């Protein structure tokens, strides 16, 4: 163990020793115990406390040298030092960036006879699916109402080859909540949903050098659609309705996706599913901001802004990205393909969202064709095109439909279809007059 890793341990010991030893003495002892004698951190802490005659205060924030041992369903989310033994049901390494430095951590799901719990080990180590481990000196936290097990700098994970667990399929506090598809957000961890399969596409991928077939597609209920990936062959059929128990959620660009893994149970369902009509995938901007992203959302609002990059643009013939002054960031000087686009901001009263509208709908909304725009740009300027388009669309009410993705700049809807919804001022006035008159 490195010096920096000892710092929080020394701090903890110093409060418990209450002046009975100096920080230098404690640091030296700790280093000797752990690095020279190779004892566990828990034993080292015990030894040091004993050596200086510190007697543990009962209760309070005092962390006893011996971690308490708990079963998974006994974990409350407030444990500071706990030992848990279980079987790794799922385990994967993740690359993260902590304080600007890349780091590998391990996350997964641990199960015992009472239930399951998601875990994170904050350093790189081998935790193999199907094998048993004791998580020593772990701490727990509650996130989204779910308790999580963590191994930080003061804990460690030891193989427990003699342990045997029969993990209940739907155990205790970790039961996946039953959700409607429309209620799944990028923060959902796991869920049970019932929906109709709209498509099943097998894909051949390579996992750890081995070829594997996974199945992907769309599943829908009356509140929305979601992409799914089945990591095993559940013999899924398009058009059939299934209840998917204990699927876990992974998000890509803010769009939640359903994963059917080893822990997942898939069963045919007799439920009558009315696949979301477009009116059911309607969202307000506030709702979209909460979800982060999703498929096939419909939104109605006013175009309140047209941002730069709207109007006549050039695209790289190789990568389709927009070019600036005839230059692609990747491919250098190119002969751009001309295109039209509107980068709008749409406000529906609950919030504002970026909506990008492609060429066909831009022509429809503005009444300016690509040929018109190119002519105007040659005669006057591209700014003139942008200004004329702004005049045509600003404060218009439109209904847009498309997928919403999130990046560092927030969610953005890429319009697949656009409909102008004229605000009927006369009708609105007559309705108001009628209401006023009725009250006279
Ligand atoms: Zn390019």
Place of tokens 């030092």: 81
DSSP result, 278-345: GGGGB--HHHHHHH--EEEEEEEEEEEEE-TT-EEEEE-TTT--B-BTTEETTTEE--PEEEEEEEEE
Cβ(154)–Cβ(42) under 8 Å? no
Task: Please count the structural domains in the chain.
Answer: 4
Mean pLDDT within 318-328: 90
Please give the distance, rounded to the nearest whole angstrom, from the Cα atom of residue 326 to the centre of ligand 1.
Answer: 10
Note whether 232 and 258 are same-domain residues.
yes
In which band, very low, low, confident or very high, does the pLDDT at 439 lie, cut at 50, 70 and 90? low
What does the alpha-carbon distance between residue 27 and residue 25 come to, in Å, rounded to a whole number?
A: 5
Residue 379's contacts (CB-CB under 8 Å, 6 or more residues apart) are: none
Closest to 227 measured CA to CA, from 253, 205, 207, 198: 198
What does the alpha-carbon distance between residue 169 and residue 114 come to, in Å, rounded to a whole number?
A: 10
Instruction: Look at residue 92 and tell me if it is in a domain.
Output: yes
Please give the distance, rounded to the nearest whole angstrom, from the Cα atom of residue 329 to the centre of ligand 1.
Answer: 6
Note whether 307 and 402 are same-domain residues.
yes
Alpha-carbon separation of residue 190 from 172, 179, 250, 392 (angstroms):
14, 10, 9, 46
User: What is the three-class DSSP state of 116?
Assistant: strand
Asked whether the predicted pLDDT for residue 48 surpasses 60, the reply is yes
Mean pLDDT within 218-228: 90
Instruction: Look at residue 426 and tell me if it is in a domain.
Output: no
Mean pLDDT within 341-350: 91
Please give the distance, rounded to the nearest whole angstrom, from the Cα atom of residue 294 to the centre of ligand 1.
Answer: 28
pLDDT number for residue 59 = 31
Packed helices 23-31 and 41-51: angle between N→C axes, nearest 10 degrees? 140
Task: Tell me the Cα Rg of the chain.
Answer: 29
In which band, very low, low, confident or very high, does the pLDDT at 144 lie, cut at 50, 70 and 90? low
pLDDT number for residue 60 = 29
Closest to 17 measured CA to CA, from 83, 77, 63, 70: 63
Note whether 241 and 291 are same-domain residues.
no
Note whether 180 and 88 are same-domain residues.
no
Instruction: Look at residue 99 and tell me if it is in a domain.
Output: yes
Instruction: Look at residue 155 and tell me if it is in a domain.
Output: yes
Instruction: Look at residue 436 and tell me if it is in a domain.
Output: no
Among the ranges given (53-67, 138-152, 313-327), the one the predictor scored with the smallest mean pLDDT: 53-67
What does the alpha-carbon distance between residue 38 and residue 43 come to, in Å, rounded to a whole number?
A: 10
What does the alpha-carbon distance between residue 26 and residue 36 come to, in Å, rounded to a whole number?
A: 15
Note whether 412 and 294 are same-domain residues.
yes
DSSP 8-state assignment for residue 43 = H
In which band, very low, low, confident or very high, does the pLDDT at 1 lie, cut at 50, 70 and 90? low
Note whether 243 and 289 are same-domain residues.
no
pLDDT number for residue 192 = 93
Instruction: Look at residue 403 and tell me if it is in a domain.
Output: yes
Range with top average pLDDT, 4-8, 43-47, 191-195, 296-300 = 191-195
Please give the distance, rounded to the nearest whole angstrom, from the Cα atom of residue 335 to the centre of ligand 1.
Answer: 10
Cβ(43)–Cβ(57) under 8 Å? no
Please give the distance, rounded to the nearest whole angstrom, from the Cα atom of residue 333 to the centre of ligand 1.
Answer: 9
What CATH number is attached to the domain comprising 240? 2.40.50.140
pLDDT number for residue 422 = 67
pLDDT number for residue 61 = 30
What does the alpha-carbon distance between residue 348 and residue 351 come to, in Å, rounded to a whole number?
A: 6
Instruction: Look at residue 61 and tell me if it is in a domain.
Output: no
Please give the distance, rounded to the nearest whole angstrom, from the Cα atom of residue 317 to the centre of ligand 1.
Answer: 7
Residue 325's contacts (CB-CB under 8 Å, 6 or more residues apart) are: none
Identify the H or E element spanning 41: helix 41-51
pLDDT number for residue 171 = 41
Please give the distance, rounded to the nearest whole angstrom, from the Cα atom of residue 313 to the centre of ligand 1.
Answer: 14
Q: How many residues does this entry show for the chain?
A: 440
Asked whether the predicted pLDDT for residue 312 surpasses 80, the reply is yes
Note whether 355 and 414 are same-domain residues.
yes
Please give the distance, rounded to the nearest whole angstrom, from the Cα atom of residue 328 to the centre of ligand 1.
Answer: 5
Strand partners, 405: 412
DSSP 8-state assignment for residue 173 = G
What does the alpha-carbon distance between residue 367 and residue 208 come to, in Å, rounded to a whole number?
A: 54
Asked whether the predicted pLDDT for residue 294 surpasses 80, the reply is yes
Q: What is the number of other CB atoms lying within 10 angstroms of the CB of residue 232?
A: 14
What does the alpha-carbon distance between residue 119 and residue 149 come to, in Å, rounded to a whole number?
A: 5
pLDDT number for residue 40 = 74
Long-range pairs for 387-390: beta carbons < 8 A, 24 or more residues apart: 389/306, 389/310, 389/311, 389/342, 389/362, 390/306, 390/310
The string over 320-355, giving b where at least 16 C-beta atoms fall within 10 Å of a residue's C-beta and e elsewhere, is eeebeeeebeeeeebebeebbbbbbebebeebbbbb
User: What is the three-class DSSP state of 30?
Assistant: helix
pLDDT digits (tens, 9 = 90+) for 245-282: 989 888 777 788 899 988 788 999 988 888 876 556 88
CA torsion sign for 387, 390, 392, 395 is negative
pLDDT digits (tens, 9 = 90+) for 152-205: 888 899 999 888 887 765 443 446 788 999 889 877 878 999 999 999 988 887
Q: Which two tokens stand for residue 329?
A: 């960031």
Please give the distance, rounded to the nearest whole angstrom, from the Cα atom of residue 367 to the centre of ligand 1.
Answer: 29
Packed helices 359-366 and 382-393: angle between N→C axes, nearest 10 degrees? 70
Please give the distance, rounded to the nearest whole angstrom, from the Cα atom of residue 370 to the centre of ligand 1.
Answer: 21
Range with top average pLDDT, 36-40, 98-102, 224-228 = 224-228
| Domain housing 109 | 68-172
**Of the residues 172, 189, 208, which one is the last residue of a structural domain?**
172
pLDDT number for residue 168 = 67
Please give the distance, rounded to the nearest whole angstrom, from the Cα atom of residue 331 to the centre of ligand 1.
Answer: 4
Please give the distance, rounded to the nearest whole angstrom, from the Cα atom of residue 293 to the centre of ligand 1.
Answer: 27
Instruction: Look at residue 78 and tell me if it is in a domain.
Output: yes
Antiparallel, parallel or unpaired: β 101-111 and 82-98: antiparallel
Asked whether the predicted pLDDT for residue 315 surpasses 80, the reply is yes
pLDDT digits (tens, 9 = 90+) for 353-384: 999 999 999 999 999 999 999 999 999 999 99
Average pLDDT, the chain: 84
Note whether 194 and 124 are same-domain residues.
no
Among the ranges given (24-28, 143-147, 202-206), the one the predictor scored with the smallest mean pLDDT: 143-147
Note whether 287 and 345 are same-domain residues.
yes
Note whether 284 and 361 are same-domain residues.
yes
Note whether 300 and 360 are same-domain residues.
yes
Please give the distance, rounded to the nearest whole angstrom, from the Cα atom of residue 359 to the centre of ligand 1.
Answer: 19
pLDDT number for residue 295 = 84
Note whether 181 and 168 are same-domain residues.
no
Please give the distance, rounded to the nearest whole angstrom, from the Cα atom of residue 414 to the centre of ligand 1.
Answer: 21
């Amino acid at each position: 163990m490195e010096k920096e890793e000892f710092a929080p341990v020394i701090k903890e010991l110093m409060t418990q020793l209450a002046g009975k030893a100096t920080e230098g003495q404690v640091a030296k002892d700790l280093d000797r115990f752990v690095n020279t004698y190779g004892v566990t951190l828990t034993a080292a802490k015990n030894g040091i406390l004993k050596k200086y005659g510190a007697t543990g205060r009962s209760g309070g924030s005092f962390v006893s040298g011996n971690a308490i041992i708990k079963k998974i369903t006994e974990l409350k989310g407030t444990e500071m030092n706990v030992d848990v033994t279980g079987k790794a049901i799922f385990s994967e390494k993740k690359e993260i960036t902590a304080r600007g430095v890349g780091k590998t951590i391990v996350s997964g799901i641990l199960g015992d006879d009472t239930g399951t719990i998601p875990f994170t080990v904050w350093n790189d180590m081998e935790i193999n699916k199907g094998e048993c481990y004791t998580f020593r000196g772990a701490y727990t936290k509650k996130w989204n109402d779910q308790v999580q097990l963590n191994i930080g700098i003061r804990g460690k994970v030891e193989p427990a080859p003699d342990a045997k667990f029969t993990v209940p399929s739907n155990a205790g506090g970790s039961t996946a909540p039953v959700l409607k598809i429309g209620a799944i957000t990028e923060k959902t961890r796991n869920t049970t949903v019932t929906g109709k399969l709209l498509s099943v596409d097998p894909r051949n991928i390579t996992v750890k050098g081995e070829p594997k077939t996974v199945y992907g597609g769309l599943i829908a209920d009356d509140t929305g659609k979601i992409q799914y990936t089945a990591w095993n062959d559940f013999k899924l059929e398009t058009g059939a309705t299934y209840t998917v128990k204990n699927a876990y959620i992974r998000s890509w660009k803010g769009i939640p996706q359903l994963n059917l893994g080893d822990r997942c149970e898939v069963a045919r369902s007799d439920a009558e599913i009315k696949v979301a009509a477009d009116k059911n995938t309607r969202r307000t901007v506030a709702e979209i901001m909460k979800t982060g992203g999703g498929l096939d959302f419909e939104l109605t609002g006013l175009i309140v802004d047209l941002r730069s990059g709207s109007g006549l643009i050039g695209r790289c013939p190789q990568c389709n990205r927009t070019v600036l002054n005839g230059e692609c960031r990747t491919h250098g000087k190119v002969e751009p393909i001309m295109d039209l686009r509107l980068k709008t901001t749409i406000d529906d009263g609950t919030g504002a969202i970026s909506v990008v509208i492609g060429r066909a709908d831009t022509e429809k909304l503005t009444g300016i064709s690509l040929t018109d725009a190119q002519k105007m740009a040659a005669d006057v300027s591209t700014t003139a095109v942008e200004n004329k388009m702004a005049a045509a669309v600003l404060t218009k009410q439109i209904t847009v439909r498309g997928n919403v993705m999130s990046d560092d700049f927030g969610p953005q809807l890429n319009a697949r279809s656009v409909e102008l919804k004229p605000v009927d001022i006369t009708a609105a006035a007559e309705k108001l007059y009628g209401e006023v008159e009725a009250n006279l």
